[in-house]
A = this chain, B = another copy of it.
């Protein structure tokens, strides 16, 4: 019934899923009942293609608090999540054969969504502070001098999947300047903005850029429930209108009207804001449990930077380790994670890092998972030394 299937005895940190215990089951039951009372048959009819006005209003109000600027209502379209938003943007705005740039490592399923469209994906390098300017310029030049259209960069500036990094405000401003110079547009995946554990994240690229340069994809999957399939796009008015005027949104009367009304009820009651506060505290404790247990054990064998938000810690090794060796050791130690290779384009990438999701398990399990990850590192480390001796 769910995508995650429990393997007894295994602690699998490869899933970027919320903790089931933090899903607001009772609250959504109440919100649904209350919304159906408030909206009546209008909640079950074909909805406005751009989404329910009440939820759009909430998105505008909330972003006024959590981002650098609030969108106007006509700059927002409700989607069926970030993945569906990205899919429909690719359908409507890309011409076959065009190039889309992605700064790797990046969310592996976004790569799959884009690869399902007839476009060419090109990698751009990044570091702890996001996309590398030289690499970006070079990729655009290379594409365009080859006669290709290079119009979009897909990127995740805030609590990045898989590395957890949030790029600095300074680097964001520099990136926006460069994007203007390059005439390159951005699809900004802003899934994790709400899940900030230490300090609020910098403004989104969307908030910093002139209208039309950036389309931001937001989500309720991580702060309420993935199953509702509700997210949003903030864009310039023309792009928002193009989405709402698509055959898909027009024929469906919006893409998630019922779920979006449930969310509107939950959000506008004020309970969602309290719930997010609770999530921040709970996920910060999970992060702490994992990283505290890893800290004294890893020193020379792996490094990480504590992520300021989101679901992921990124453990870097001093040199690449073959995926099959990592996978075999993980199986033996009954722990799961995703190797860096999954977040790059193409095959044959040698992983120098692994992604550990600390979102789904309890603190005691995360402590135990850290012990097992250390076991994996010990094993691949000693086998490396062994093979060096041999």
Contacts and interface: CB of A to CB of B under 8 A. Distances in A.
Interface in A110-126: 110-118
B229 A255 contact: yes
Given A116-B246, A258-B259, 9 more contacts: A4-B45, A17-B45, A28-B44, A46-B227, A80-B255, A80-B256, A109-B247, A112-B251, A227-B261
A209 interface: no
Contacts of A97: 96
Nearest to A34: B29
Interface residues of A, number: 73
22 contacts: A1-B53, A2-B48, A3-B46, A18-B45, A20-B40, A20-B42, A32-B33, A33-B33, A44-B228, A45-B226, A46-B226, A80-B252, A80-B255, A82-B251, A87-B248, A96-B118, A109-B247, A110-B251, A227-B254, A228-B258, A229-B252, A229-B259
A40 B25 contact: yes
A23 B45 contact: yes
A93 to B, nearest CB: 10
Contacts of A84: 80, 248, 252, 255
A133 interface: no
A142 B12 CA distance: 55
Contacts of A309: none
A162 interface: no
Contacts of A218: none
Interface string A14-50: 0001101101111011001100110111111111110
Contacts of A87: 91, 247-248
Interface in A224-267: 224-229, 246-248, 250-259, 261
A225 B258 CA distance: 9
A307 interface: no
Contacts of A250: 109, 112
A96 B97 CA distance: 9
Interface of A: 1-4, 17-18, 20-21, 23-26, 28-29, 32-33, 36-37, 39-49, 52-54, 80-84, 87, 91-92, 95-97, 109-118, 224-229, 246-248, 250-259, 261
A83 B116 contact: no
Nearest to A248: B87
Contact of A226 (B40, B96, B253): B253
Contacts of A83: 247-248, 251-252
B43 A227 contact: yes
Given A3-B49, A47-B2, A251 B17 contact: no
A2 B45 contact: yes
A187 to B, nearest CB: 14
Nearest to A90: B91
A108 to B, nearest CB: 9
Contacts of A37: 29
B3 A20 contact: no
Contacts of A46: 2-4, 17, 226-227
B253 A2 contact: yes
A42 B1 contact: yes
A39 B29 CA distance: 12
Contacts of A109: 247, 250-251
A174 B202 CA distance: 63
Contacts of A246: 112-113, 116
Contacts of A53: 1
